[in-house]
Structure 1
Amino acid sequence: MKSSSNALQTIKGRVLTRHTLHRQDGLSLQYFVATATGPVIVEIVQQQHVCFIRSVDEKWLKQHPELSQISSQPVALKNFKHEDVTAVYCRDLRLQRNLIRIAKDQDIELFESDIKVEHRFLIERFIALDAEFSGYFEAVKPGEHPKFIANRGRRTELKQPLKAISLDFECSFSGELYSVALYGQTPSGVVFEKVLMVGEPQATDVTYIDWVADEPSLIHQLIAWFNDYDPDIIIGWSVVTFDLALLYRRAKHHGIALSIGRNNQSLSWKVEDKYRPETLSLPGRVVLDGIDWLKAAFYQFERYSLEFVSRALLDEGKAINNVTNRMDEINDLFANNKPALAHYNLTDSRLVWDIFEKTQLFDFAIERAKLTGLELGRVGASVAAFMNLYLPHLHRSGYIAPSAPASDGIESPGGYVMDSIPGLYKHVLVLDFKSLYPSIIRTFLIDPKGLVEASLLPEAETVAGYLGASFSRNKPILPQLIKHLSEQREQAKTNLNAPLSQAIKIIMNSLYGVLGSRGCVFHDAKLASSITMRGHEIMKQTRDWIEADGYQVIYGDTDSTFVWLGNDVDETKVQAIGNALALKINRRWGETLAEQLGIDSFLELEFETHFDQFFMPTLRGSTEGSKKRYVGTQRKPDGELALVFKGMEQVRSDWSPLARRVQYELYDRLFAQQDVENYLKQTIDQLNNGELLNELVFVKNLRRNLEDYTAKSSPHIKAAKLLFNATQDETVTRKGARIEYVMTLCGAEPVSHQTSAIDIEYYITRQLAPVAEPILTILNKSFNDISSNQMTLI
Structure 2
Amino acid sequence: MNKEINPNIALKGRVLSRHVVQEPASLWLHYYVKTENGSVLVKVPQAEFICFCATTNLSSLLSIPALGVVRTKALTLHSFDLDKVTAIYCQSRQGFRHLIKGAIDLGIALFEAEIRPEQRYLIERFIALDGEFMGHYAQALPSAGLPVFIAQRARASFLDIKLKSISLDFECSFNGELYSVGLYGRDGNGDEYRKVIMVGQQTTQAFNAQPDGDFNHIVDDIQWVSDEKSLIVALIDWFADYDPDVIIGWAVVTFDLALLYRRAKFHRIALTIGRGASELGWKVADKYRPETLTLPGRVVLDGIDWLKAAFYRFDSFSLEFVSRALLGRGKAIHNVENRGEEITELFHHNKLALAHYNLNDSRLVWDIFEKTQLFDFAIERSRLTGLELGRVGGSVAAFNNLYLPHLHRAGYVAPAMAVSQGLESPGGYVMDSIPGLYRDIVVLDFKSLYPSIIRTFLIDPKGLIEGLSSQESDTVDGFLGAKFSRRNPILPQLIKTLAEHREEAKTEHNAPLSQAIKIIMNSLYGVLGSKGCVFHDARLASSITLRGHEIMKQTRRWIEELGYQVIYGDTDSTFVWLGDRTPEAEVDALGKKLVEVVNLKWKEKLADEMKLDCYLELEFESHFEQFFMPTLRGSSEGSKKRYVGAYTKADGELELIFKGMEQVRSDWSPLARRVQQELYFRLFSKLDVVSFLHGVIDDLKLGKLDDELIFTKRLRRDIKDYTAKSSPHVKAAQKMCQSTGDEQYARKGTKVEYLITLNGAEPVKFQKSPIDYDYYISRQLFPVSDPVLTILKVKFESIASNQLPLI
- The 10-residue stretch of structure 1 (749-758 or 450-459) with the greater mean CA deviation from structure 2: 450-459
Residue pairs, 1:668-679, within 5 angstroms? 668-679=681-692
What's the CA shift for 1:223? 0.2
Question: Aligned letter for 1:86?
Answer: T
Q: Is 1:231 aligned to 2:244, yes or no?
A: yes
1:167 paired residue number: 168
Contact map agreement 1:177 1:215 (CA 8 A) in 2: yes
- Give structure 1 stretches of 5+ with no counterpart: none
Letter in 2 for 1:118: E
Q: Tell me the CA shift for residue 705 of structure 1.
A: 1.5
State the match for 1:578 in structure 2: 591
Q: Which amino acid aligns with 1:23?
A: E
What amino acid is aligned across from residue 146 of structure 1 in structure 2?
A: P
1:3 and 1:139 in contact (8 A); partners too: no
2:265 maps to which residue? 252
* 1:654 is aligned to 2:667: yes
Determine whether 1:635 maps to 2:636. no
The answer to whether the aligner puts 1:497 opposite 2:520 as a matched pair is no
Query: 1:397 deviation in Å?
Result: 0.3
Aligned partners of 1:717, 1:81: CA distance in 2, in Å?
Answer: 51
* Pair 1:484 & 2:493 matched: no
Structure 1, 31-40 or 675-684: larger mean CA deviation = 675-684
For the residues of structure 2 that align with 1:128 and 1:733, how far apart are their CA atoms? 43
- 16-25 or 122-131, larger mean C-alpha shift: 16-25
State the Cα distance separating 1:190 from its structure 2 match. 1.7
Structure 1 residues 94 and 573: CA distance shift in structure 2, 3 A: same
- In 2, distance between residues paired with 1:65 and 1:749? 62
Which residue in the other structure is 1:562 paired with?
Answer: 575
574-583 vs 17-26, which deviates more?
A: 17-26
- Mapped pair 1:433 → 2:434: no
1:684 aligns with 2:707: no
- Greater Cα offset, 733-742 or 221-230: 733-742
Amino acid at match of 1:518: K
| Cα 1:68–1:573 shift into 2, 3 Å | same
After superposition, residues 699-714 of structure 1 pair within 5 angstroms as 699-714=712-727
Number of the residue aligned with 1:600 = 613
2:515 maps to amino acid: Q
Give the drift of 1:233. 0.4
State the partner residue of 2:214: none
Specify the code of the residue in structure 2 equivalent to 1:745.
L
Measured in 2, the distance between the counterparts of 1:515 and 1:639 equals: 46
SS in 2 for 1:735: coil
Alpha-carbon separation, structure 2, partners of 1:737 and 1:3: 61
Question: 1:3 and 1:331 mapped to 2: Cα distance?
Answer: 59
Paired residue type of 2:371? K
Letter in 2 for 1:266: E
Q: Please say which of residues 38-47 and 403-412 is displaced more in the overlay.
A: 403-412
Letter in 1 for 2:416: S
> Counterpart in 2 of 1:755?
768
Whole-angstrom distance in 1 between the partners of 2:300 and 2:449: 34
Structure 1 distance, partners of 2:329, 2:317, is 15
What's the CA shift for 1:457?
3.1
Partner residue, 1:221: 234
Compute the displacement of 1:3 (Å).
8.2
> What's 2:321 paired with?
308
Query: Is this contact kept in 1: 2:28–2:47, CA < 8 A?
Result: yes
Aligned to 2:46, the other structure's residue is in SS state strand
CA–CA separation in structure 1 for the residues paired with 2:510 and 2:124? 28
Deviations 1:223-257 (A, max 9, x none): 00000000000000000000000000111111111
CA apart distance, 1:703:
1.1
Label 1:516 to 1:188 Cα distance change in 2 as closer, same or farther (>3 A).
same
Distance between the aligned counterparts of 1:601 and 1:582, measured in 2?
A: 14
Report the equivalent of 1:342. 355
The one-letter code sitting in structure 2 at the alignment partner of 1:685 is D
Q: CA 1:82–1:285 in structure 2 vs 1: closer, same or farther (change >3 Å)?
A: same
Contact 1:236/1:290, CA 8 A, preserved across alignment: yes
Structure 1 range deviating more: 174-183 or 7-16 = 7-16
* C-alpha distance in structure 1 between counterparts of 2:680 and 2:315, whole Å: 22
In the alignment, residue 418 of structure 1 is paired with which amino acid?
A: M
Would you say 1:667 and 2:680 are equivalent positions? yes
Structure 1 residue 789: deviation in Å?
5.7
Gaps of 5+ in 2: 206-216
Pair 1:408–1:238, CA change in 2 (3 A):
closer
Runs (4+) of structure 1 moved beyond 6 Å?
A: 1-4
Structure 1 residue 567: deviation in Å? 2.2
CA–CA distance in structure 2, aligned partners of residues 304 and 405 of structure 1: 35
**Deviation for aligned residue 1:741:** 0.3
CA deviations over 1:497-519 (Å, ceiling 9, x no partner) = 00000000000000000000000
After TM superposition, the structure 1 = structure 2 runs for residues 716-727 of structure 1, keeping only pairs within 5 Å, are 716-727=729-740
Alignment of 1:38-49 (within 5 A): 38-49=38-49
Asked if structure 2 preserves the Cα contact closer than 8 Å seen for 1:4 and 1:138, the reply is: no
What is the TM-score when the length of structure 2 is the normalising length?
A: 0.97
Residue number in structure 2 paired with 1:197: 198
DSSP-derived class of the 2:645 partner:
strand
Task: Please say if residues 2 and 146 of structure 1, whose CA atoms lie closer than 8 Å, have aligned partners that are also in contact.
Answer: no
> Is contact 1:4-1:139 (8 Å) kept?
no
Instruction: Tell whether 2:600 aligns with 1:587.
Output: yes
> Distance in 2 between the 1:541 and 1:350 partners?
53
Instruction: Give the C-alpha shift of residue 101 in structure 1.
Output: 0.5
In structure 2, distance between residues paired with 1:410 and 1:65: 37
Give the Å deviation of 1:632.
1.0
1:380 equivalent in structure 2: 393
- 1:7 Cα deviation from its structure 2 partner: 4.0
Mapped to 1, the partners of 2:648 and 2:374 lie a distance apart of: 30
- Partners in 2 of 1:4 and 1:442 — Cα distance? 53
Deviation at 1:636, TM superposition (A): 2.6
2:613 is the alignment partner of 1:612 = no
Identity %: 64
The residue that corresponds to 2:211 in the other structure is: none
| SS of alignment partner, residue 71 of structure 1 | strand
Q: How does 1:359-378 map to 2 (within 5 A)?
A: 359-378=372-391
* C-alpha RMSD over aligned residues: 1.3
Shift of 1:791: 8.4
- 3-state SS in 1 of match to 2:66: helix
CA distance in 1, matches of 2:233, 2:513: 39
2:70: which partner in 1?
Answer: 70
Question: Which 10-residue stretch deviates more, 294-303 or 458-467?
Answer: 458-467
1:203-226 per-position Cα deviation (integer Å, ceiling 9, x unaligned)? 255210010000000000000000
Conservation of the 8 A alpha-carbon contact between 1:62 and 1:68: no
Letter in 1 for 2:107: D
Residue in 2 aligned with 1:146? 147
Corresponding residue of 1:322: 335
Q: Offset of 1:728 from its aligned partner? A: 2.4
Deviation at 1:601, TM superposition (A): 0.5
Distance 1:2 1:364 in 2: 41
Amino acid at match of 1:9: I
TM-score after normalising by structure 1: 0.98
Question: C-alpha deviations, 1:417-456, integer Å up to 9, x for none?
Answer: 0000000000000000000000000000000000000123
Moved more, 339-348 or 5-14: 5-14
Q: Residue 142 of structure 1: CA displacement? A: 6.6
Match in the other structure for 2:128: 128
- Larger mean CA deviation between 539-548 and 264-273 belongs to 264-273
Alignment counterpart, residue 358 of structure 1, candidates 371, 386, 392: 371
Tell me how far apart the structure 1 counterparts of residues 478 and 326 of structure 2 sit (CA, whole Å): 45
The answer (yes or no) to whether the contact 1:3–1:138 under 8 Å persists in 2 is no
1:553 and 1:562 in contact (8 A); partners too? yes
- Quote the offset at 1:707 in angstroms: 1.2
Q: Deviations over 1:579-632 (max 9, x none)?
A: 110011000000000000000010000000100000000000000000000001
- Matched position secondary structure for 2:321: helix
Q: 1:21 to 1:313 in 2, by over 3 A?
A: same
Is 2:65–2:98's contact at 8 Å kept on the other side of the alignment? no
Q: Across the two proteins, how many residue pairs are aligned to each other?
A: 792
Contact 1:61 1:67 in 2 (8 A): no
Distance (Å, rounded) in 2 between the aligned partners of 1:200 and 1:89: 59
Q: 1:771 — aligned with what? A: 784
Deviations 1:631-679 (A, max 9, x none): 0102334443201100000011000000000000000000011111111
Q: Aligned-pair distance for 1:768? A: 0.1
Q: 1:514 aligns with which of 512, 527, 548?
A: 527
Q: 1-side partners of 2:532 and 2:575: how far apart?
A: 35
Contact 2:274 2:297 in 1 (8 A): yes
Matches within 5 A, 1:420-459: 420-458=433-471
Residue identity in the other structure for 2:256: D
Query: In structure 2, how many angstroms separate the alpha carbons of the residues matched to 1:604 and 1:222?
Result: 54
